[in-house]
Every structure is written in structure tokens, then in C-alpha cells.
Chains A and B, each alone.
Chain A
Amino acid sequence: MTGGIPIEVSGLGKRFGQVAAVDDLSFTVRPGVVTGFLGPNGAGKTTTLRMLLGLVRADSGTATFGGTPYAKLERPLETVGAALDASFHPGRTGRDHLRVYATAAGLPRQRIDAVLEQVGMSEYAGRRVGGYSLGMRQRLSLATALLGDPGVLVLDEPINGLDPEGIRWIRGFLQQLAADGRTVLISSHLLSEVQQSVDEVVIIARGKLMRTGTLASLELDRAPRTIVDSPDRPALAAALGAAGLAYAEGRNGFIVDEPEPGRVGHAAFVGGVELSELHRMKSELEDAFLALVGEGEG
């Protein structure tokens, strides 16, 4: 391994016709942690990653690995491992696919068996990729990224298509890669998908940076709220109003701007209202994420 180096994106921009797919985007990804690159579909994540890897030409700005653009890297596969769209020639076996790229990068043949073992694909390596499931393709794609034992990993939607066992496996795997001191950047359109794997987040929407920081800092964005419901909603509304609690009526009851469910329960008790539901609102993080990217209820 060459050691983790930071990914530095600065003022990156790309237009497709009239649409600014990526607009003046700047962020840094540091070694030793797993960073989630998040945003809804069409936010510009894949375009950004492809500019970072020299596959798409940037209209403006720079994207480097410790100051060096991908195309100028001395030994690219040994510096950066990337898994983008899990595309393979269907007629080639998994092992031959790895052989082709190990040969191009001048990597020793033992690396092929090593990465197959690492992603749990040794047993299927002799089969043609055309017969692989989506999960197997994802694993082979990851194996390709790991071929050069790189210090930086860039993975586009690596969890997509994995079964529950695969998802559990990749979470531990990514954490281990980061613990080794590598720089790990994974993209996803679902925060909940990577919530348990990432330490830091870079959130974009409509090509623009919305937020960077730790996962914990994102959580603090929004005070937790309480969900409460009653068979007699007007009475509950009156009780909440009497206690001075702000609320909004949702499909599953009232969403109250109050982090402590006990206080909401007390207000109902004082008003003599029967409750059918009382709990702290879950997935605050996903809410905060959706609010940031402009898809939530605000």
C-alpha cells in the first residue's frame, strides 16, 4: 500500500449544455476515515467522481490526489483504486478480467488471487462475468479497485445490489480499509444505506456543495422531535396548544417540536387526552439529509 493521501477537489465545474451538472465544487477527503459522498440521483456525484479520475474533462477547477491529477499519477492503480459502474466484457471470466488490468498496470499475478480472496469471489473467478449476479459484479468491481493495493479508494454506489449479508460484509470491509490508513470515498444516494459505514460526509445537490463534516455534526443540525397520535385528534391538538408546544399534523399523527416524549405525554395527560402513539421521531439523520438536499418536507 502506498499510504493514504487526501483527495482535493477545488472549484470543480462541468456543464452539459445549459445544465451545470457540477458547479464550483470544493471539498477535501482525508485518509483514515470512510467518507460518504451523498446526494440525490442526478446531483452530480458520478460526474464529479469521473472528473476526479480523469475520465470526464472538467470545464473548470481541479481534482487531485495529494496534489497530482489522476492522469499524471506515476502508478495509477497502485495509488487509487476505483470502482465505478461494474461494467465488464460478459464473455470474459472474472479472473481473466483481473488479469487484463493487472497486466496493464504491471502488477504481480499473486495480486489476482489475493483480491479474489479479499472480496470472497475465488470460487466464481473461473465463470464468465455474463452469468454473474449484480452483487457478484459489485464484488468483482471492488476486486479490480483493490488490485494495486492502493492507498485511496473511490467507490461509486458500492452497496447497490448487495444482499443483506453483502451489505454487512462491505461495511466491515470499508471500515477496515480506513483503519489501515487509507482514504475511502463512497458515494450513495441514500444516507441510510451508508449511515453505519461512514464517519464523514460530503453532501451535494444540483451540482453544488451542501455540507461537509462529520456524521455527528449533521445530526445536530436539527433538534429531534416527537411523534404523537390520539384517537381524538382535535382534543390532542387543543392539549398541545394549551401546553405551548408547536406541532404539525402528519400522516401518522402530530410531529411535535419537542425532543422529550415525556413532556408531550404530560401535556396530553393534563388535557385528559387518550394517546395511541408516543415516541421520539426516528431517522432524524435521513430527515436532516433530505432537508439539506431539498427533498424533505423542510
Chain B
Amino acid sequence: MRVLASEFLKVTTTRMWWLLAIIMFAYLAFIAGGLAALFGFTIANPDAAAATGASAPSLGDMPLAPLVYSFATSMGYVFAVIIGVLAVTGEFRHRTLTATFLATPQRTTVLGAKLLAQLPIGAGFGVIAFLASVGAGAAMLAVFGLDTMLDQSDTWAMIGRGILAMALWAAIGAALGSVVPNQVAAIVIVLAFTQFVEPLLRLATSFSDATAAIGKFLPGSASDSLVGASFYALATPGGAGEMLVWWQGGLVLLGIAVVLAVIGGATSWRRDVS
């Protein structure tokens, strides 16, 4: 418990968490607000949109509001991962592992506490992310007279699951940091995987049923299953057909965090600190 409190304090006594939170808030408010406005405009004015060459995007039977709100996780999760990565790689970079292991020589306890301490921090990022996406998104939907769905318990349940997903993503970040202690390398891996590799894999696996069965276990896909809505479902041909049940998605994320932490705990975390 003391170690957990110490790990939590390590994050809150530096400036990085709120710098990242501000960037994330601005980014998500812009994306969610902007897309809500675009969709809202084309749906509310199909004739005008057609005249400019744009057509109303097909949403299938998916309501627009949860889709816009879910940008908090589908685009915002990378921020939670990075705050988690920094919590571990920062100790290597600033050579503070010495002081950390002097205070708590049980290294496995420290790594476990780091992962657990990231859960409330990731959840906090989740709250801020939804403040941005729901705040800007709902405002734009209201402007175009579309349903914000904020009076429905399903919407709030989705937001709750989204906050849980962000908590798990931050823990995954910390676990990844223990596998790749080099801060720059870890961040490059996070950005390359989340922004490039995984979206391509999700697209590629969605073309056949056999690969789609594998693709649904990709971390971002599992996260979207947990949250229950994502614009990726629109962007992929298979649509929302191949998705895990929400709690399965949560377990996949938890499993990734645990497996990475076990690998990191057995490798870089055990090495000599000099």
C-alpha cells in the first residue's frame, strides 16, 4: 500500500501528466466536435451536402452520439498508454531506480505497484477524455438538432466502460515500459503500433471471417469491444460483426498488461542497476 501510494505520488509530483492531459483534451475536443459537426451537417442538410459533392456517410443502424463520444477511447487511449510508459521508462532515464529499489528492495512489488498506480491515473485520463469528446461532441450534435443521447443509461454505461478501458491502457503502458526501458524506443513503438501497425492489421484481418476471428483480439479492437462503440467499426468492411463481448475485451487488455509485466519483470526489471 505504501509502495502504491509512492508510485501514485511519483506521477502526480511531475508536470507530465497534466501536460499530456491538456493536449489530449484539446485533441479530442477538436476531433469529436469536428466530426460531430461534419456528420451533423450532412445528416441535417442532405441536399446541401449532395450539392457540394459530399454524401451522407452511412452509419448503418449505429446511432451517431456514442460513436462521437467514443473518440475519447478510440483516439485517446494512446495518451493513457504514454503516461503509463513514462512512469516506468522515466525511472530508467533519470536513473531514479536506484532510489526506488533502495526504498523497496522487492522489485516485483514495485512493478506491481506501478501497474496498479496507473489504473486510477488512466481512469482520470478517461474522465478528462470523455469530458472533451462528450462536451464538444454533444454541443455540436445539439447545434444540428441531433439526439445527444445523454439521457440514456446506455450512453453512460459506455462512458463508464471507456473509463475502465483507459485505466487498463495506462497499466499496459507501464508494463510495456518494463519490457522496453528505453523511453524514446518505447514511445516510438507505441506510436507506430497504435497509429499505423494496428489499424492496418485490423483492416487486413477484416477481409475474411477466419482472420477476423483473430483480428478481434488485437488490443485496439479488444478495447473497442470493451467500450462498445468505435468509428473503426464504420471504417472496416466487416463492420461491427466481429467483435468480442465487452468483458472479453476487458480481459484481453488485462491479459496484455499482465503478460508484458511478467516479461518485463523477468528481464530489464531484474537487471543490475548501475
What is the interface of chain A, defined by CB distance below 8 A to chain B?
Answer: 46-47, 50, 53-57, 70-71, 73, 76-77, 82, 84-85, 87-93, 96-97, 99-101, 103-106, 144
Contact = CB atoms under 8 A, between A and B. Distances in A.
Contacts of A93: 13
A84 B106 CA distance: 19
Interface string B70-98: 00000000000000000000100011101
A89 B273 contact: no
Contacts of B274: 46-47, 50, 55-56
A103 B5 contact: yes
B116 to A, nearest CB: 14
A73 B5 CA distance: 21
**Most interface-central of B5, B103, B104 (chain A CB within 10 A):** B103
Given A50-B273, A104-B2, A89 B94 contact: yes
A218 B147 CA distance: 88
Contacts of B90: 89
A56 B99 contact: no
A88 B97 CA distance: 10
A88 B13 contact: no
Nearest to B2: A106
Given A55-B274, A71-B105, A91-B15, A84 B98 contact: yes
Given A56-B273, A71-B105, A103 B6 contact: yes
Given A103-B2, A103-B6, A54 B14 contact: no
B95 A53 contact: no
Contact of A144 (B5, B10, B94, B99): B99
A189 to B, nearest CB: 17
**Most interface-central of B96, B99, B100 (chain A CB within 10 A):** B99
Interface string B38-53: 0000000000000000
A73 B98 contact: no
Contacts of A76: 102-105
Given A46-B274, A77-B102, A103 B94 contact: no
